[in-house]
């Protein structure tokens, strides 16, 4: 499980249609990049993805620039993000509540997609978060959005996915904050989108998320062990006496420009494909000290 933050954008994997990993991990945590001017975190990204169909349009595949036709108002951010999370196309979709918990959480099916929220209802969740966020004059970035993704060979249950999302929210210091989670299974990798209101619904103070990526990375290791997912050695790994320790630095960052291209063109970059499919195999061959040029050529040929 690997975590990416805005400060680590050069090595952030693509979001759709394939949630790539930087190594052979079972699960990824992705924090989409924020605006550099401290403005709305998702004005550029959400304005692009909120009006997408499940399949990319032809012109999307050749453009690395986001669309600018959606509203840029603070109020619209939660609306567009929730619409995208549950693939809302503007039509009325049946919402079927499947579970209700004593703490106010509810799980439901919206348009065939499994969702969870601690708001009063899924239909009003965006409006509820907008109203709470409006109570904080200082917080200009109320939406906190991250993605959990599992590898193709991992089949977590809906309950496990929701529990992982809740765990991450708590560890980020936002327990009790409004959130919505939606599970997407329309790609090779099962993944979920989590949107959290940084503004506390009781105190109206915004959560400080300094070092959030590092916090999530640590908890990725914990969740992998708890649920029996394949463990990955990301920036943190298990050391002696079952203590989490920082992993030694191994690889450099991706070339500049590969991340925006992936996010906005809906296509995985050649760099990240090579990292995901080739790097580990080549590293194994090099470490064996019996490597030949023929083996390298075969390894590259097998992976395209």
Give pLDDT tens digits for 71-117: 445 555 566 566 656 655 555 568 899 999 999 999 999 878 899 99
**pLDDT-based confidence at 4, cuts 50/70/90?**
very low
CA angle (277 as vertex; 276, 283 as ends), nearest 5: 90
Mean of pLDDT values over 45-55: 34
Q: Which of the given ranges, 75-84, 130-139, 261-270, has the highest pLDDT on average? A: 130-139
Query: Is 272 or 160 the better-scoring residue by pLDDT?
Result: 160
- Give the pLDDT of residue 298: 85
- In angstroms, the first-to-last Cα distance of the chain is 26
- Give the pLDDT of residue 175: 96
Identify whether the C-beta of residue 189 lies closer than 8 Å to the C-beta of residue 150: yes
Tell the residue number behind the tokens 């940084």, with chain if given. Answer: 198
Q: Percentage of the chain surpassing pLDDT 70? A: 62
Q: pLDDT at residue 64 above 70?
A: no
- Give the pLDDT of residue 63: 34
Q: pLDDT at residue 37 above 60?
A: no
Q: pLDDT at residue 61 above 50?
A: no
**How confident is the model over 196-249, as pLDDT tens digits?**
999 999 999 999 998 898 898 889 889 999 999 987 667 788 888 888 888 776
- Give the pLDDT of residue 112: 84
Q: Number of helices and strands (H, E) in the chain?
A: 9, 10
Q: What is the pTM of this model?
A: 0.66
Mean of pLDDT values over 22-51: 50
Mean residue pLDDT across the chain:
73
Q: pLDDT at residue 260 above 70?
A: no
Rounded Cα–Cα distance for residues 300 and 81 (Å) = 39
In 3D, which of 185, 65, 207 has the Cα closest to residue 133?
A: 207
Count Cα neighbours of 265 within 13 Å in the Cβ-side half-sphere. 14
Q: pLDDT at residue 59 above 90?
A: no
Q: Which of the given ranges, 50-54, 66-70, 193-197, 263-267, has the highest pLDDT on average? A: 193-197
- Give the pLDDT of residue 22: 40
CA dihedral sign, ordered 144, 78, 170, 135: positive
- Give the pLDDT of residue 85: 61
Q: If 0-12 CB within 10 Å is exposed, 13-18 middle and 19+ buried, where does residue 247 land?
A: middle
Q: Which residues of 210-245 are buried (b: 16+ CB within 10 A; e: fewer)?
A: eebbebbbbbbbbbbeebebebbebbbebeeeeeee
294 contacts: CB under 8 Å, gap ≥ 6: none
CA dihedral sign, ordered 161, 87, 85, 63: positive
């Amino acid at each position: 499980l690997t975590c990416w933050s805005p400060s680590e954008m050069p090595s952030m994997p693509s979001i759709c249609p394939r949630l790539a990993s930087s190594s052979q991990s079972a699960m990824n945590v992705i924090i989409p990049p924020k605006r550099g001017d401290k403005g709305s975190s998702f004005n550029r990204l959400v304005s692009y993805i909120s009006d997408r169909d499940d399949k990319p349009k032809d012109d999307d595949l050749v453009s690395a620039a986001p669309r600018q036709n959606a509203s840029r108002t603070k109020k619209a951010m939660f609306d567009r993000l929730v619409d995208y999370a549950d693939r809302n196309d503007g039509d009325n979709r049946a919402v079927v509540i499947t579970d209700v918990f004593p703490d106010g959480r509810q799980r439901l099916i919206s348009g065939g997609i499994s969702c969870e929220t601690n708001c009063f209802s899924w239909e009003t969740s965006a409006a509820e978060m907008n109203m709470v966020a409006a109570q904080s004059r200082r917080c200009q970035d109320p939406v906190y959005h991250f993605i959990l993704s599992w590898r193709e060979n991992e089949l977590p249950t809906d309950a496990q996915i929701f529990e992982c999302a809740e765990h991450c929210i708590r560890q980020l210091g936002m327990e009790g904050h409004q959130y919505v989670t939606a599970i997407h299974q329309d790609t090779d990798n099962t993944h979920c989108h989590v949107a959290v209101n940084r503004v506390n619904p009781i105190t109206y103070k915004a959560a400080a998320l300094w070092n959030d990526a590092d916090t999530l990375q640590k908890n990725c290791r914990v969740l992998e062990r708890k649920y029996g997912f394949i463990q990955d050695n990301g920036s943190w790994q298990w050391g002696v006496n079952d203590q989490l320790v920082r992993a030694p630095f191994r690889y450099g960052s991706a070339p500049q420009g590969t991340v925006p291209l992936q996010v906005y063109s809906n296509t995985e970059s050649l760099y990240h494909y090579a990292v995901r499919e080739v790097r580990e195999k080549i590293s194994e061959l090099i470490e064996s000290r019996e490597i030949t040029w023929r083996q390298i050529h075969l390894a590259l040929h097998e992976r395209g």
